[in-house]
Amino acid sequence: MKITGAQAIIESLLAEGVDLVFGYPGGAILPTYDALFESKERIRHVLVRHEQGAAIAAEGYAKSSGRTGVCIATSGPGATNLVTGIADAMLDSVPLVCITGQVASSLIGTDAFQEADIVGITIPITKWNIQVSRAEDIPNAIAKAFYYAKDGRPGPVLVDITKDAQAGMMEFTEYAKYVPRGKKSTQHKHSDMQFIEIADLLNNAKRPLILAGNGVGIANAEEELVKLAEKATIPVACTLHGLHSFPSNHEYFVGLLGMHGNYAPNILTNEADVILAIGMRFDDRVTGNLARYAKQAKIIHVDIDFAEINKNVRSHMHVQADAKYAISHILRFVQSNNHKEWHHRFKHLHDQEYEQVIKAELSHKGDMIRMPQAMDLVSRKTKGEAIVVPDVGQNQMVAMRYYKFQKPKSHISSGGLGTMGFALPAAIGAKMANPDREVICVAGDGGIQMNIQELGVILQEKLPVKILLLNNNYLGMVRQWQEMFYEERYSFVDLVSPDFVALANAYGIKARKVTSPDELEEAVDEMLASKEAYFLEVVVEKREKVFPMIPAGSAVDEIRLS
C-alpha cells in the first residue's frame, strides 16, 4: 500500500510494540504529528513542556520497565533540547529511540530556519544515528534504531528525518525487524573451564566481595544474584544504579559503594582478596583514587561491553557477557561456603557508621527536620516497595542511603551525567510505565526548578505522582563542598525560591509545606494516601551535610564519617 513517510514512522513504531511516546511538535516534524493524530488510539503521545523533559521522561519509562523509551522533537532547538537527555541515557545505558524532524533535504547546509546538524552533534552521545532523506528508507532506519538501542549494552540512538521524507510517498508492504547479516557475537561464547576457574577463585577466597552494578538490573539477573550470594555466603555491595538489584533487608547486603556510600563496603573493598564485579564500570565515584583502589584483590570483571574491561581497573579475569548468563554459569560451579569472620567485619564497621551517622541523623532532636528523617519515614511507610526517582545532589545521596529498596527497577536516577532536573520528568515516565506502583519524585529546591514546567504534564495527564521536595534554600551539595574545601566561600549557592505550594496549586496539584518535625509523619501519610498527585515541601536543615564522604582524590578506605 502507498503511505507517506510519516505514516511509515507510525507503522514502524507500532510494529516494534511502541504504545507510548513523549514529544513536542514543531514545523519540521509536523507531518509525523499529523500521522500521530490519525493513530492516537494506538499510540499515546505525552506532550511535555520542554524537549529535555521528553528525553528524560522516556528514560524514566525505559529504566523502570526494561522497554525502549521513545521521544520525538522537531528540528533545530527542538532537537538540541534533547541533547542532555540523550547524553544522560548514553552514560547510564538506557535504551532510547529519539526521532527528530529536519528541514527539507534541499535546504540542508543552507542555515535554513531551525536547521541544526543534530546527527553531527549527537555522534559522541549515541550508539548509532542516521539522517533519512527518502521516505522508502524510513522503516529500515527505525528497525535498525530499535535493534541498536537494545543490542549488547543498551543506549540511545537517533533518527533524523527530513520533512520531505516524512511527506513523501512510499510503498509499504511488511515491516521487517532488523537482523544484521554475518554478525559475529563474542557474547555467550565462554567455556565451562572459564567459569570453573572463576568459581575456584571464589571458593578459595577468604574475603570475597560482590560489586553489583547497573548491568544486573538490565539483564534481569536479580534472582540469580541472590542465589549466588546465598550459596557462597558472599557480601554484596551495590553501585548507585545497582541498588535495586539486591534487597536492602537481605543479610548479605552490605550497602552502597562510592563517594557518599556506606562505610563498610568502601573500607573493605581495600581488604577483599577476591572481588566479583558484575555489570559495573568502575567509574570514579565508586573507585576514588585509582592508584590505591583494591590493589590487594583478584578482580573478576563481568560486563557486556568489552570497552569497559580493563579500562579503569585491571582485572585478573574477565567475562564479556550479560549478567544473567554469567551469574547462572558461575552458580553451576561455586560451592557452599562460610565467611562468618568476614561478615562480622562488615557488621563491626556498619555499627560504627550507624552510631556516628545514621542513628545521630534519625534521632536528631531540634526545631528543623533532617533530610534522612524524611527519607527514612517514606521508606518505612512504603515498606521499600515504591519507585523512587531522586534528582541530583544531597537529596539523591540521602534517597540512596535511607530508602530501603526491596523490588527491582525501583531506583531511577541520573548517575553518570548527574543531570539536575532529572527527577520530575523521569518520575512522569516511570509512572506511565508503572501505573499500579507508587512513584515518588524526590528533589531539592535547585533541581526541581530546572524542569518544574513538567508539572503541566501531571496536570494534563492526571498522573498521581508524589513529589517530595527537600528544601534547604541552598544548592546543598555545592555548598557542602564550598564549606569543606573552599573555606566557606559560599559562591552563588543561596537560593530564593517561589512559593512552591502556590505553584503546585496553580497546576491543580494538592500541596502542603511542613517546617516542624512534629508535622512530618502526618504530612507523609497524607501524601501517600492521596489518590491524586501530591506535592509535599519539607523545609529541612539549611546547612546539613551528607556523610560518609570520600573526598575527591582520596582512596575508598579514606572515607570520612564526619
Sheet holding 298-303, edge to edge: 253-256, 236-238, 208-212, 274-278, 298-303, 317-320
Task: Examine residue 549 and state whether it is found in any structural domain, yes or no.
Answer: no
Q: How many structural domains is the chain composed of?
A: 3
**∠ CA 107-109-111 to the nearest 5 degrees?**
80
Alpha-carbon distance of 474 to 230, in angstroms, equals 43
Statement to judge: residues 27 and 161 lie in one domain: yes
Q: Does 280 qualify as catalytic in the annotation?
A: no
Alpha-carbon distance of 212 to 209, in angstroms, equals 10
Cβ atoms of residues 469 and 536 within 8 Å: yes
Statement to judge: residues 165 and 215 lie in one domain: no
Pairing of strands 169-171, 2-4: antiparallel
Statement to judge: residues 142 and 283 lie in one domain: no
Nearest residue to 338 via CA among 266, 235, 236, 268: 235
- Beta-bridge partners for 536: 468, 512
Host H or E run for residue 156:
strand 156-162
From the candidates 113, 223, 359, 488, give the one annotated as an active-site residue.
113
Task: Examine residue 182 and state whether it is found in any structural domain, yes or no.
Answer: no
Q: Does 52 qualify as catalytic in the annotation?
A: no
Please name the residues in contact with 13: beta carbons below 8 A apart, sequence gap of 6 or more: 21, 43, 70, 142
Q: Does 51 qualify as catalytic in the annotation?
A: yes
Q: What is the pLDDT of residue 484?
A: 85
Range of the domain at 77: 2-171
Statement to judge: residues 522 and 379 lie in one domain: yes
Statement to judge: residues 373 and 318 lie in one domain: no
3-state helix vs strand vs coil in the chain, percent to 5: 45, 20, 40
- Measured between alpha carbons, how far is residue 262 from residues 104, 245, 253, 418, 478 in Å? 54, 17, 11, 20, 21
From the candidates 11, 51, 222, 454, give the one annotated as an active-site residue.
51
Q: Return the DSSP state at 355.
A: I
Q: What is the CATH number of the domain that holds 418?
A: 3.40.50.970
From the candidates 477, 480, 500, 547, give the one annotated as an active-site residue.
477
Q: Does 381 qualify as catalytic in the annotation?
A: no
Statement to judge: residues 200 and 97 lie in one domain: no
Q: What is the pLDDT of residue 159?
A: 98
Statement to judge: residues 315 and 379 lie in one domain: no
Statement to judge: residues 341 and 411 lie in one domain: no
Nearest residue to 49 via CA among 27, 80, 75, 81: 81
Alpha-carbon distance of 56 to 430, in angstroms, equals 10
Q: What is the pLDDT of residue 187?
A: 57
pLDDT beneath 70: ranges in the chain: 183-188
From the candidates 63, 163, 431, 466, give the one annotated as an active-site residue.
163
Domain boundary among 318, 346, 374: 346
Statement to judge: residues 316 and 379 lie in one domain: no
Task: Examine residue 351 and state whether it is found in any structural domain, yes or no.
Answer: no
Nearest residue to 175 via CA among 16, 391, 37, 300: 16
Statement to judge: residues 489 and 443 lie in one domain: yes
pTM of the model: 0.96
At 297-339, the pLDDT tens digits run: 999 999 999 999 999 999 999 999 999 999 999 999 999 999 9
Burial of 365 (0-12, 13-18, 19+ CB in 10 A): exposed
Nearest residue to 516 via CA among 402, 365, 360, 398: 365
Q: What is the pLDDT of residue 485?
A: 87
Q: List the grid coordinates of 78.
A: 527542538
Cβ atoms of residues 228 and 317 within 8 Å: no
Q: Does 113 qualify as catalytic in the annotation?
A: yes
Statement to judge: residues 474 and 379 lie in one domain: yes
At 505-547, the pLDDT tens digits run: 999 999 999 999 999 999 999 999 999 999 999 999 988 889 9
